């Protein structure tokens, strides 16, 4: 897959948010669309969505945002005492918007960041447009899958023993189609995991849980698109059924074949068309 025209260096930006440095990659103009990453070691917004930024930036002001502890954002904890992870991250996004003068935005959350997007929609309904949730649901049991899934187990192995070999094993669970998993992807993720302070910050973050939002999600007014891969080994696709059953204004798109946790990469062109059509219509 070709490298994006909107390059990392050309789009990178730092914003001071109440004393914390938040790193973003930004491109395009128009309605604001935030893109967030998951919670695994080495997660960052650029690697999550660099294969989508060119297409999306033709229609939106795209802001790919590293949450605190990840990518090149601050490694110090910004979670307040008693906050759940979704509440803390939703607050940080709102504070970022206030600093930058952004009144309203669409939100795209991948995996662990999905609950923060839903929380944002619940707490700040006048500041949100539509939500795109990738491999993320309001919560609840996964009926058919042993817990934790094998990908989550591999993730824990790397966190405890961060070798390139263990990163390779973890990435095979993210992208199960061997033809799509490249050496460059593995190296980029490994390098991001080795950013000083990241693994320690991520370990602290993992001690704070996302809320189970099922009791509250019925009052979410934003329209929601949920996307998932049928062979997701990190967050199994039964979660899409939870989303379908509990989110009021939801539609779900499932990919078959050998589709994993990174459908925005594995099916980039279709993902881009789907998201653009959903957000604009």
Active site residues: 261
Task: Give strand pairing partners of 225.
Answer: 132, 251
SS3 state of residue 205: helix
CB 239 within 8 A of CB 228: yes
Instruction: Please state whether the peptide bond connecting residue 260 to the residue before it is cis, i.e. omega within 30 degrees of 0.
Output: no
207, burial (CB in 10 Å: exposed 0-12, middle 13-18, buried 19+): exposed
| DSSP state for residue 66 in the 8-state scheme | P
- Euclidean distance between CA atoms 196 and 160, whole angstroms: 16
- Euclidean distance between CA atoms 203 and 208, whole angstroms: 9
Per-residue b or e along 249-261, where b marks 16 or more CB atoms closer than 10 Å to that residue's CB: ebebbebeeebbb
- Using alpha carbons, select from 189, 204, 194 the residue that is nearest to residue 88: 204
Task: Give strand pairing partners of 25.
Answer: 12, 64
- Euclidean distance between CA atoms 193 and 161, whole angstroms: 12
């Amino acid at each position: 897959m070709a490298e994006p025209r909107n390059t990392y260096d050309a789009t990178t930006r730092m914003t001071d948010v109440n004393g914390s440095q938040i790193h973003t990659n930004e491109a395009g103009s128009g309605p604001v669309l935030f893109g967030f990453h998951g919670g695994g070691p080495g997660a960052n917004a650029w690697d999550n969505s660099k294969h989508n930024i060119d297409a999306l930036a033709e229609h939106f002001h795209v802001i790919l945002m590293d949450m605190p502890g990840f990518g090149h954002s601050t490694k110090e904890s910004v979670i307040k005492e008693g906050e759940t992870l979704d509440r803390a991250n939703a607050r940080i996004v709102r504070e970022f918007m206030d600093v930058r003068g952004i009144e309203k935005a669409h939100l795209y959350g991948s995996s662990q960041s999905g609950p923060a997007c839903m929380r944002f929609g619940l707490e700040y309904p006048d500041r949100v447009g539509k939500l795109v949730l990738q491999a993320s649901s309001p919560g609840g049991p996964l009926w058919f899958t042993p817990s934790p899934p094998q990908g989550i187990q591999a993730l824990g192995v790397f966190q405890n023993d961060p070798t390139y070999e263990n990163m390779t094993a973890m990435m095979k669970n993210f992208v199960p189609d061997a033809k799509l998993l490249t050496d460059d992807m593995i190296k980029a993720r490994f390098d991001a995991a080795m950013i000083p302070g990241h693994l320690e910050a991520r370990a602290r973050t993992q001690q704070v849980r996302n809320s189970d939002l099922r009791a509250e999600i019925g009052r979410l007014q934003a329209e929601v698109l949920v996307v998932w891969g049928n062979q997701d080994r990190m967050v199994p696709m039964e979660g899409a059924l939870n989303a379908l059953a509990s989110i009021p204004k939801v539609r779900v798109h499932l990919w078959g074949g050998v589709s994993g946790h990174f459908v925005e990469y594995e099916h980039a062109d279709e993902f881009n068309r789907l998201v653009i059509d959903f957000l604009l219509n």
